[in-house]
Structure 1
Amino acid sequence: MSVFIAGSLHLDVVLSAPHLPRADETVTGSAVDYVFGGKGGNQALAAARMGADVAFAGRAGSDRFGDMIREALENSQIDLSQLQRDGGPSGMSAAIVDKNGDYGAVIVSAANLNIDAHAVEVPDRTSVVVLQNEVPEEVNAAIARKARATGAQVWLNAAPARPLSDAVLDAVDVLIVNRVEAAFYAETAGSHRVLTTLGAEGVVYQGRKWPAFSVDVVSTHGAGDMFVGALAAEVDAGRAIDEAVPFAQAAAALHVSLESTERVRMDRARVAAFLAAHSSR
């Protein structure tokens, strides 16, 4: 089986600063890093690093950021046959990480808004299709319909929060949201299975709550995407979602505790070792 992720690609410009700036404030930072990002790309890399056979569909521009995005993906084992090239700029974000590891970001979607959904096909033997809200609603709707026709599970990481059409809701099996998004969708989620990530307070799914692992946080940037990718990899391996949550939590906890140069070396064995060492939580 395999995981298919369709979604956004960004080149994240990550600034380290003592605190997030207030209105009209200029803050002196201490470092800048250029990091592969976008929820779609991050989740695809996470699932691949956690051992899944992953295919990806998305769109990057013809600028230098696009070259950097493609280089990062090409260094993975992901099937990139549906990676589209846009004639304009790539998606990007500017993120500020404070001394506590918390962050705020601004996203410019650019090429992500031009994904050709008609050209996207869900590969055979796909078990889980993962979508996010960083691409147009009609793109998600079209891919979700194709996914349902194959019998694959359809997950929507509904971030950032926005109204969802019936076309999307009717095709989605699981909504994955954080605390803010959960409040936004409280009246529209209906009978959908909703998985809510609560950061340091854990995860809630179908009435059950799992506590978070306690770690020293370097940065929370990308933690949610690591969780989703790891969860998809575990479900693709044959586990039910509730059985897969602890592993995904361990992957996210390890991710936030590592420097960016170490995160690229995360793999399934390292997460499994972390989970075993913290199994008595």
Structure 2
Amino acid sequence: MTVTVFGSVNADLTFPVPELPAPGHTVLGGAWRAVPGGKGANQAVAAARDGAPVRFIGAVGRDPMAAIALSALRNAGVDLSAVLETEAPTGAACICVDAEGRNQIAVSPGANALARAAQVPPLAPGTILLMQMETPPGEIAALIRRARGEGARPILNLAPAGPMEPEVLRALHLLITNEHEAAWLAARLGCAATAGALHAALGIAVAVTLGERGAEAATGSAQWRVEAIPARVADTTGAGDCWCGVLAAALSRGAPLDAAMRRAAAAASIAVSHPGAADSMPSAAETDALLK
């Protein structure tokens, strides 16, 4: 089953620094790199490298940065036939990564703000539709409603946290947040920031990633916790995107949610041991080897 990803695609300018800069503080770092990124593109690459047929829908500019932004998607064999070229600049991110692998990120959306739900071809029943919050919320909401009508399985990674009507969230097949996004949403729903409480408030399956403490999930029939796999951390950029993309790939092959979460945890532990975002996503063989 194909995984369709509607989301952002950026060129990431990555700066290795000895420490993350504070306000008004200039830090001299090492050699910078221009690499592909964007939550949508990262997740699409992760799903494709895990073996899923993937179609990516987004928008880029007609500028030299577009080739950088799309390079990992092309190399992973992702279908880019529905990507829109616009006069707006390609989205870009500035990423500082310190000696402990922690990051600080600023993003200019650029062409990502012009991505439209109408670009998405008809969705076959059962298709996994994966989205994030770096494209216009109104387009995401329209696509969630349409996906449900076409029998697809819409999954939203609420990252970065942003407004989305509860009625739209209730139409999801699965909601994914990290612990900070869960706290943001829980404050608006008036519930605790746990997968179980968010599931009770929305009536849908919810997964919450907890960094080095793993992830938890709640559905109508079960709740469980999946532990993270220890790793040597080089760069945490894109780790959450790896988790989401590999989870989507596993679900598209019919894996139950708990098994998909275990695979996602293994893939993310590999991703953080390499620098970069899209370029750090592991192959299916690498993830298989770690799980064994």
What is the TM-score normalised by the length of structure 2? 0.90
1:69-84 aligned within 5 A? 69-84=69-84
Aligned counterpart, 2:282:
266
Q: Following TM superposition, by how much is the alpha carbon of 1:171 offset from its aligned partner in structure 2, in angstroms?
A: 2.4
Cα distance in 2, alignment partners of residues 260 and 112 from structure 1 = 20
Cα distance in 2, alignment partners of residues 198 and 71 from structure 1 = 30
Cα distance in 1, alignment partners of residues 168 and 14 from structure 2 = 32
Question: Quick one: which amino acid aligns to residue 129 of structure 2?
Answer: V
Aligned counterpart, 2:138:
138
CA contact (8 A) 2:123 2:152 kept: no
Q: Secondary structure at the match of 1:79?
A: coil
CA contact (8 A) 1:113 1:135 kept: yes
Cα distance in 1, alignment partners of residues 54 and 278 from structure 2 = 22
1:106-145 aligned within 5 A? 106-124=106-124, 127-145=127-145
Unaligned runs of 5+ in 2: 190-197
Structure 1 residues 78 and 261, CA, compared in 2 at 3 Å: closer, same or farther? closer
Cα distance in 1, alignment partners of residues 244 and 181 from structure 2 = 15
CA contact (8 A) 1:17 1:97 kept: yes
Aligned counterpart, 2:256:
240
Q: Which string of whole-angstrom CA distances, capped at 9 and with x for unpartnered residues, describes residues 58-86 of structure 1?
A: 00111111122233322231111111111
Cα distance in 2, alignment partners of residues 92 and 30 from structure 1 = 20
Q: Following TM superposition, by how much is the alpha carbon of 1:260 offset from its aligned partner in structure 2, in angstroms?
A: 4.4
State the Cα RMSD in Å. 1.8
- Out of 228-237 and 70-79, give the one that drifted further: 70-79
Cα distance in 1, alignment partners of residues 138 and 167 from structure 2 = 9
Moved over 3 A (4+): 259-265
Structure 1 residues 87 and 22, CA, compared in 2 at 3 Å: closer, same or farther? same
Unaligned runs of 5+ in 1: 277-281
CA contact (8 A) 2:211 2:228 kept: yes
Q: Following TM superposition, by how much is the alpha carbon of 1:139 offset from its aligned partner in structure 2, in angstroms?
A: 1.0
Structure 1 residues 229 and 20, CA, compared in 2 at 3 Å: closer, same or farther? same
Q: Secondary structure at the match of 1:200?
A: helix
What is the TM-score normalised by the length of structure 1? 0.93
Q: Which string of whole-angstrom CA distances, capped at 9 and with x for unpartnered residues, describes residues 159-208 of structure 1?
A: 11112124532421211111100101114342232211111111011132
1:1-281 aligned within 5 A? 1-124=1-124, 127-166=127-166, 168-186=168-186, 187-188=188-189, 189=198, 190=201, 191-206=203-218, 207-260=223-276, 263=279, 266-276=282-292
Q: Secondary structure at the match of 1:81?
A: coil
Query: Percent identity between the aligned chains?
Result: 36
CA contact (8 A) 1:2 1:126 kept: no
Structure 1 residues 164 and 244, CA, compared in 2 at 3 Å: closer, same or farther? same
Q: Following TM superposition, by how much is the alpha carbon of 1:126 offset from its aligned partner in structure 2, in angstroms?
A: 5.0
Q: Following TM superposition, by how much is the alpha carbon of 1:125 offset from its aligned partner in structure 2, in angstroms?
A: 5.1
- Out of 162-171 and 58-67, give the one that drifted further: 162-171
Q: Secondary structure at the match of 2:228?
A: coil
Q: Following TM superposition, by how much is the alpha carbon of 1:223 offset from its aligned partner in structure 2, in angstroms?
A: 0.4
Aligned counterpart, 1:279:
none
Q: Which string of whole-angstrom CA distances, capped at 9 and with x for unpartnered residues, describes residues 215-263 of structure 1?
A: 1100101000111110011111111111211111000001111244995
Cα distance in 2, alignment partners of residues 57 and 249 from structure 1 = 26
